[in-house]
Amino acid sequence: MAGITIKEFLDINENKDNVLKLLRLTGLVGLENRIIESTEVNRPGMALFGYYENFASNRMQIFGRGESSYVEELSKNNDAAVFEKLFSYDIPVSVFTHNHTPNDVFIKTSLSASTPLLVTSLPSGTFINRFSVLLEDEFAETTVVHGVFIDVLGVGILIKGSSGVGKSEATLELISKGHRLISDDSVELKKLSDGLVIGCTRKGLAHYMEVRGIGIVDISRIAGMSGVRDRKRLDLVIELSYWSEQDNDLYDRTGLNDIKESVLGVEIPYLNIPVKSGRTLSTLIETAAKNHRLKGMGYNSAKEFNKRMIASLQKGKADNNS
């Protein structure tokens, strides 16, 4: 994992209005060459007591109230040896929570080791949770796909299809009906730690659409901010394909087959909707979104219909035998 530098981490935090409430205690030391490789952190209590087996030195080190108190006791005795041993490991950064500032002995040792030292006013648990959330996107497995990503009735739908099949036109119709665009043409998909896949706008391309014959349009200006959003969970993949009589038997006519498409290793429901003259794509996509929501609530129209048909046939057979 490549990771990010401490400087990049601090920049991300600043862009989020300093959500981690951080202050630097060691200036610019180590900001460019120390790397955060994980959203997981380590509490170095056992290391301070001299036990370094399985010490997760490559993680951010969190000094909560217990660790801070012990550091204070060691500092009063001017015992730098414990700190020198700690910083002999390649620690990316140390963070003291609860607004506790360590003694000068600890700070000087950290400076000597070129290891950044930060302090936050947040409690340890709050800081760790916010840190994980803040960097989740940075460490998420990512891919970029061609298509349109739109929120239809709360369902995140990736619309795919060959060039000119009607993706943009269908999307414009959906936006005019009150649905929300996330990204057009180039969709960034990320797999989060909980296994969910989210689609995001790409930097510099947010909320712009290319419409043949018109050009580039800014949906956030045309439809207002209520017509766009920055990210959404991917719930459904819809592929638009040109209608072919030869492939007519391949199109799902009952909905009994739950077809999936693997996206970043996650199985996402998939539909192939054939396109031909007279079919209103936006209405079809809306219907697909509504049907997907029904399935999420435990009702499957196709299976219910199939159940009723079987019951009707069995009843007819019983009546004929009576």
Sheet holding 141-152, edge to edge: 231-233, 197-200, 180-191, 141-152, 155-161, 236-242, 266-275, 260-263
Do residues 292 and 269 lie in contact, with contact meaning Cβ atoms separated by under 8 Å? Answer: yes
Which residues in the chain are classed under CATH 3.40.50.300?
140-305
Which residues in the chain are classed under CATH 3.40.1390.20?
4-137
pLDDT for residue 248 = 60
CATH number of 140-305: 3.40.50.300
Q: What percentage of residues in the chain have a pLDDT greater than 90?
A: 58
Do residues 183 and 222 lie in contact, with contact meaning Cβ atoms separated by under 8 Å? Answer: no
The CATH number of domain 4-137 is 3.40.50.970: no
Q: How far apart are alpha carbons 148 and 125 in whole angstroms? A: 38
Does the pTM of the predicted model rise above 0.75?
A: no
Average pLDDT over residues 127-154: 91
pLDDT for residue 305 = 76
pLDDT in tens, 171-218: 999 999 999 999 988 899 999 877 899 998 877 677 888 888 888 888
pLDDT for residue 194 = 79
pLDDT for residue 2 = 66
Do residues 35 and 122 lie in contact, with contact meaning Cβ atoms separated by under 8 Å? Answer: no
pLDDT in tens, 43-87: 999 999 999 999 999 999 999 999 999 999 887 777 789 999 999
Average pLDDT score, the chain:
88
Q: How far apart are alpha carbons 249 and 20 in whole angstroms? A: 56
Do the bridges between strand 208-211 and strand 231-233 make them parallel or antiparallel, or are there none, so unpaired? unpaired
Spatial CB neighbours of 128, under 8 Å, sequence gap ≥ 6: 41, 62
The two tokens of residue 76 are 């009063």
Question: Quick check: 1 pLDDT over 60?
Answer: no
Residues involved in catalysis? 146, 167, 185, 253
pLDDT in tens, 141-172: 899 999 999 999 999 999 998 888 888 889 99
Average pLDDT over residues 81-107: 94
